[in-house]
Amino acid sequence: MDPVRRLNNNALTGPTMQAAGVGPRRVPVAPTRVAAAALPVPRPLVPANGPQRVQKQKYEIKADLRKPPSHQPSSQAVVAKENVKSKPAVSEIHVAQVPSKSSDPSSQNAPDYISEDNKSSEKKRWTLDNFDIGRPLGKGKFGNVYLARERQSKFILALKVLFKCQIEKAGVEHQLRREVEIQAHLRHPNILRLYGYFHDAARVYLILEYAPKGELYSELQKCVRFDDQRSATYITELSDALLYCHSRGVIHRDIKPENLLLDGTGQLKIADFGWSVHAPSSRRTTLCGTLDYLPPEMIEGRMHDEKVDLWSLGVLCYEFLVGKPPFETTTHDETYRKISKVEFTFPPFTSEGSRDLISKLLKHNPKERLPLNQVLVHPWILANSTKQPTFMHEKDSVQPVPESSAKQ
């Protein structure tokens, strides 16, 4: 059966179904310290437009693009405001609507007018009429993601539909603009492509690369934990993509399983750049990201730079191998305390090599964290990863780092 149904006006007539890859979600919290309180299984999250981990529930998504989501953003979900002189309206986002030509394999099958700059004076002006809309792929705070097909080329993609009223109510117009500006100009096989965007009076549409296998977090839930080979392969792909981002002055700041997708071949893709920043000064103070993944310098309110992504990489590697993050507790204050003290232990089934790598990434002093180019040549990575990095600074000429006594 054709996986993509035709859009009738602005509404879909296909049956409702559960969104793929939604999974349990995280619980948002305010960016200030809160009193200790017993929490259920869900993890806390600092304010961000990110997923929340709660018990998976079935729900229906009405594929009607004319109406905003029925749920209202919680007051806790309002993102911490950054120093922005003027906050542009959603309709004032300005970015190249068609990304430049790239050797990225993810764009090789996209038609020229989708994946490359138009050489003519007029650029392609997208509208909803250019696409057939199919089943929902996911549900977010400000809208939904749908499987879609460009009508002329039959190219399959994902269409992220965001409602302006919800974005403006939460005060995150600048966050959306930043996501579009950054992701539209990144070209790496482990970064989800943003082909372009368009908008109408009520909605903003992001034209995205389709990742058929969905969220990596859902895969981790299914498997409980990954073995050394699979974990090392994902860390290689992610480290290579982050090295590329950092070389262009981009800090991600919200690395976690929910923000990583898998394409049809199982290759990892960084998918959410809502908290990313261009960092010409390389120093930031905004509290953002997920509590379990926040580094000490951010929860302590100190300046931070691209080394926050190194900490998150260590937390992610631990969660891959163990099935839960290293600083997870039942209260916010206890999680803050453990992060600040870098207090965690390894289960006995973890290997010495993985312990060594994680311990070198989870350092309280950001300057002591293992650089990404050294992560890529760590003995545990070289012994287990099935992938080779595709990006490396030409000036980098590194030797594999020796393993040291890992934290027990």
Q: Which residues are catalytic?
A: 254
> Cα 96 to the chain's mean position, in Å?
21
Q: Own/partner pairs for 324-329, CB < 8 Å, 24+ apart?
A: 325/43, 325/292, 325/293, 326/358, 326/362, 327/292, 328/43, 328/292
Q: Which residues, at least 6 apart from 52, have a Cβ–Cβ distance to it below 8 Å?
A: 24, 25, 26, 27, 28, 42, 43, 45
What is the sign of the dihedral through the CA atoms of 390, 320, 292 and 28? positive
Tell me how far apart the alpha carbons of residues 225 and 263 are, in angstroms, rounded to a whole number.
Answer: 20
Question: Shortest CA distance to 266 belongs to which of 234, 232, 244, 218?
Answer: 234
Residue 176, CB-side half-sphere exposure with 13 Å CA sphere: 30
Do 99 and 209 meet the contact criterion of CB atoms below 8 Å apart? no
> Cα 200 to the chain's mean position, in Å?
26
Do 196 and 184 meet the contact criterion of CB atoms below 8 Å apart? yes
Question: Which residue matches tokens 């009508």?
Answer: 151
Question: Shortest CA distance to 43 belongs to which of 300, 217, 270?
Answer: 217
- Would you tell me how many other CB atoms lie within 10 Å of the CB of residue 395? 6
Do 233 and 251 meet the contact criterion of CB atoms below 8 Å apart? no
User: What stretches of 133-227 show up as alpha helix (H) in DSSP?
Assistant: 164-170, 173-183, 216-223
User: In angstroms, how far is the first alpha carbon of the chain from the final one?
Assistant: 54
Tell me how far apart the alpha carbons of residues 150 and 94 are, in angstroms, rounded to a whole number.
Answer: 23
